[in-house]
Copies of this chain bind each other. A is one copy, B any other.
């Protein structure tokens, strides 16, 4: 066979735009181990595979990895937290898929209500962090202005001494 073929079990959407794990690792700055680890932990959906078993990632997968990294390193969420958020996202997709089908309306209501609840909790957490960070920034700038005041005083003394 001259062409790469994809596994029958989990074919990629249908386009040519796939990425192997090495490329994803390079583009996202995480290691291959980390990508497999996220998959194990349910943070990334099991990607499609080549016949031989090589993972094939989509651009969406890349975006999700970047999202995970931001949540983790910049905002200090645990992977468990992030998994919850990812699952909420999956739920949203599920809702979207059901949107045009004739599912039970009350059931749809319940799911949406749940999604709203989860999201509102997330907003509350983010608000708390924003407030804390704001306080912190204020106190840091307070410190900076104190330091700069000291430098100014030293400058004055130096000027007075040299006259």
**Given A137-B127, A144-B120, A150-B112, is A158 in contact with B105 using a C-beta cutoff of 8 Å?**
yes
Query: Is A133 an interface residue, CB under 8 A from the partner?
Result: yes
Distance in angstroms between the alpha carbons of A71 and B120 in the assembled complex: 23
Distance in angstroms between the alpha carbons of A99 and B150 in the assembled complex: 9
Cβ distance A91 to chain B, nearest Cβ, rounded Å: 10
Query: Is A123 an interface residue, CB under 8 A from the partner?
Result: yes
Contact across chains for B132 and A130 when beta carbons are under 8 A apart: no
Contact across chains for A126 and B122 when beta carbons are under 8 A apart: no
Cβ distance A58 to chain B, nearest Cβ, rounded Å: 20
Contact across chains for B140 and A126 when beta carbons are under 8 A apart: yes
Task: Find chain B residues with CB under 8 A from A71 CB.
Answer: 136
Contact across chains for B119 and A144 when beta carbons are under 8 A apart: yes
Q: Which of A20-28, A38-46, A74-82 forms part of the interface with chain B? A: A74-82
> In residues 58-110 of chain A, which contact B (Cβ within 8 Å)?
70-71, 73-77, 92, 95, 99, 105, 108-109
